[in-house]
Structure 1
Amino acid sequence: MKKTTVPNTLSLKNSALNPIVLLILFGVLLYACGPEEPVRIGLITGTVGHMADVEITARYAIQMAVDQCNETGGIHGRRVELLVRDKQQNADDAVKDVKELIAQRIDAMIGPLSSSIALSILPSLNQYRMTTVSPTAISPLLAGRDDYFFRVCPSSKDLSRLTAEYQIRLGNMRHIAIAYHGGNPSFCEPFIEAFQNKFHADGGTIVTKIAFIPNEGRSFFQVAEALLREEPDSILIIANAMDSAILCQQIRKINSLVKITISSWGATQRFIELGGRAIEGVTLATAMDLNSPLPRYQEFRKNFLERYQHEPNIFNFYPYNAAQVVLTALKAQKKGQSLKAVLLSIGKFDGLQGKIIFDAYGDVKKAAFMRIIRDQKFAEPE
């Protein structure tokens, strides 16, 4: 009798499913072996308003630092991703942007550059324990706080005191008129207060203080007229590079001899480009040496110049330092450790021009010095 072979339907069914099962397993393995989640850094910046020119160029320096990190393997093999939010100089929008970035599970933040925006987002940073490192928010109102805000720049109080000391010591600025940008009171008002206290203590007199906002009310020429009406021997301008340069030009149309000094806010190459001959002899206090021969700075300068075709300034210098501080801390961070704790435990970071040393409140104190515009350059005073 012929033997009948009954097919093993279970085996056939299993063999039919094997390719599908294998495909699923293969996909799971691929996912498991795939690239890790990127390290996300949020950046609060702005492309409109009175800080737009410096904030756009600051972003270039931060992106360069991130790209250099990725080119050398990222952070423990994980790629670094920069998530940018444009606050447009609006405090309410900045708070929303911070919360949105936190919802996207960022690991750290850089920014903001503006002191007023930094003050507005501070409660949210503390609420969510999100650490940020600001390049240039230098208002003294941000100093001495046990919070999640760090900065790599000196306080404006140190710079304004140095400005006052220098002008009094020089002897040709005794009766000064002050013009300041009314749209940034958190920077301007503490700067004026510190300057005024030191200037008065050393025998100087402030003859007038005028707040201005471009395109709102008085023209630059009218501001210049109002400043010179009190017959000062000198003028202090606290504003961004463009407004400082334009105001210098209008002052020179009326008076070619009055001495002019500006705040570090305006100390960029744009100030020189726009000011022309009108800014020759203008002085300012800064904590960055544009002519530093230090190898670390010169390498940064070379790379920045090749990449963006213009010389770096303070608003590239400090943002690059801030990015390097954040990247260094993220590399050193251990599981379960807050970034704030890492920053404070390291305490001392390599900067482009020496060490960046944080105190217990995330503030730095760095020596500042005076510069003068001579032959279209930031030069040492004689």
Structure 2
Amino acid sequence: MLHRKLTKIMAVALIFAGCLHLFGCGQKEPVTLGFVGGLTGKVSDLGGPARNGMLFAVEEANKADGINGQPIQTLIRDDRQDPETAKKVVAELLAKNVDAIIGPVTSSMAVQVAPMAEQAQTVMMGVTVTTNDLSNKDDHFFRVLAATAVHAGEVAEFLFNERSVRTFSAIYDLNNKAYSQGWITDFEQRMTELGGSAVTILSFSSGNQEALIPVAEQLVSGDPDIVIFVTNAVDAALLAKLIRSKSDDVMLGTSEWAGTERLIELGGRFVEGAFVPQYLDRESKDPDYQRFREGFIKRFNHEPGFPGLTAYNATRVIIDRLKNKSASQSLKDALLAQGTFPAIQGSVQFDEFGDAESKTYVTQIINSQFVVQTD
């Protein structure tokens, strides 16, 4: 009798051990998606919502049977908006053989780590990365937003045609030079083509707030129609306060980078009236967007903003191709072969280089809200 009981116990133990080895009886080995982005510091208003947008898409997919029965697991890494840290954490993700990487969230980090993804032949889907430096390359870097040349040009056209801006001054952050310098160059080029001109263009390195104090006088000298900040939201809020201490009349504007809730939270009355381009229409009544926004807020207790939405769309694109590609296809080939994917607020359409098109929504801060000024 004792022998039979021991035999049964051993048999159960062997079955249990086998289940653990196979990730659970009847459960397939998981698919792994990595995330890299700035989760601390001045760009956390991009990285935090982007991470949550990715997680929201993954959680939805897992509730719907994952990738053909394979659960999706995530590995989250903080690049701290530091090149060496970004390289380190991306190397960690690649060493774990992730199926794809969502991120980074800034152009300066993307230009550092995109070559690593290319060498590993692993798809990297940039979230809010729009640098021209990664355009028109046959590599494994994809993105769901258009390059800065598109967005900056559209902002210039709006300000020139709809707000009669003819002269501008600007300041851009060298810590995200791959994005900021390209944005202001594209903005100036389009403004000049339209008949406008730059009064003053300055640069600085984020992290030294005292260095910003004397630039306010320089930015308003020459009486420009508008002062543009190509910075993160924290620095844009401080610059707005400094500019308003010198002038109540000059218009203020930013690039898309500053267009998060943090800008209004920190800028308060000093950013009232500022023109802030966005990658999404926050006022959209589209049922899919409303469903996404309400679900996101319920899950994470904050607005998704453009980082949350773009990361959600980017992750859904990756999940779609992992689910539907043929066994012989690489993920890169499957993405390019499909080309167009449904997304919240429009479709994602990749060209032959994995670059996408996206729309610019120029907003104005009115009563502490981003109010869309164009369709």
TM-score by length of 2: 0.91
Could you tell me whether the CA contact under 8 Å between 2:38 and 2:46 is conserved in 1?
A: no
Instruction: Report if the CA contact (8 A) 1:212-1:223 is conserved.
Output: no
Match status 1:344 vs 2:344: no
Gapped runs of 5+ residues in structure 2?
Answer: none
1:50 is displaced (CA, Å) by 3.4
Determine if the alignment matches structure 1 residue 331 to structure 2 residue 323.
yes
Which structure 2 residues correspond to residues 88-167 of structure 1 after superposition, within 5 A?
88-167=80-159
With 98-107 and 139-148 compared, the bigger mean Cα shift is at 98-107
Counterpart for residue 318 of structure 1: 310
Mapped to 1, the partners of 2:8 and 2:308 lie a distance apart of 56
Percent identical among aligned pairs is 33
Give the corresponding residue for 2:49. Answer: 57
**Is the aligned partner of 1:79 residue 2:57?**
no
Aligned to 1:289: 281
Give the equivalent residue in structure 2 for 1:10. none
| Residues 78-115 of structure 1 deviation map (CA, whole Å, 9 limit, x = unaligned) | 21111012222222332232222122121111011111
Q: Counterpart in 1 of 2:290?
A: 298
Pair 1:70–1:228, CA change in 2 (3 A): same
Relative to structure 1, is the Cα distance of residues 27 and 275 closer, same or farther in structure 2, using a 3 angstrom cutoff?
closer
Instruction: Indicate if the aligned counterparts of 2:137 and 2:353 stay in contact, CA closer than 8 A.
Output: yes
Pair 1:197-2:196 in alignment: no
**Structure 2 partner of 1:185:** 177
Deviation at residue 369 of structure 1 after TM alignment: 3.3
The residue number in structure 1 matching 2:300 is 308
Distance 1:217 1:61, change over 3 A: closer
The one-letter amino acid of 1:231's match is D
**Greater than 3 Å deviation, 4+ residue runs:** 14-34, 217-221
Q: Which has the larger radius of gyration?
A: 1
- CA–CA distance in 2 between the matches of 1:28 and 1:204? 72
1:370 aligned partner, one-letter code:
V
- Residue pair 2:103, 2:125 contacting (<8 A) in 1 also: yes
Are the equivalent residues in 2 in contact too, given 1:287–1:369 (CA < 8 A)? yes
Of 112-121 and 360-369, more deviation after overlay is shown by 360-369
In structure 2, distance between residues paired with 1:97 and 1:245: 30
CA positional deviation for 1:255: 0.5
Please provide the CA RMSD for this pair: 2.2
Q: Is the 8 A contact 1:221 1:251 kept in 2?
A: no
Q: Is the 8 A contact 1:45 1:112 kept in 2?
A: yes
How much does 1:222 deviate? 2.0
Cα displacement (A) at 1:143: 0.9
Determine the C-alpha separation between the residues in 2 that align with 1:18 and 1:277: 76
Q: Distance in 2 between matches of 1:86 and 1:381?
A: 35
C-alpha contact (below 8 Å) 1:214/1:220 kept by paired residues: no
How far is the alpha carbon of 1:370 from its aligned partner? 2.1
Q: How many residues align?
A: 369
> 1:380–1:107: structure 2 CA closer, same or farther, 3 Å change rule?
closer
State the AA in 2 paired with 1:90: D
- Partners of 1:128 and 1:261 lie apart in 2 by 40
SS of structure 2 residue aligned to 1:364: coil
What displacement does 1:324 show? Answer: 1.0
5+ long unaligned stretches in structure 1: 1-13
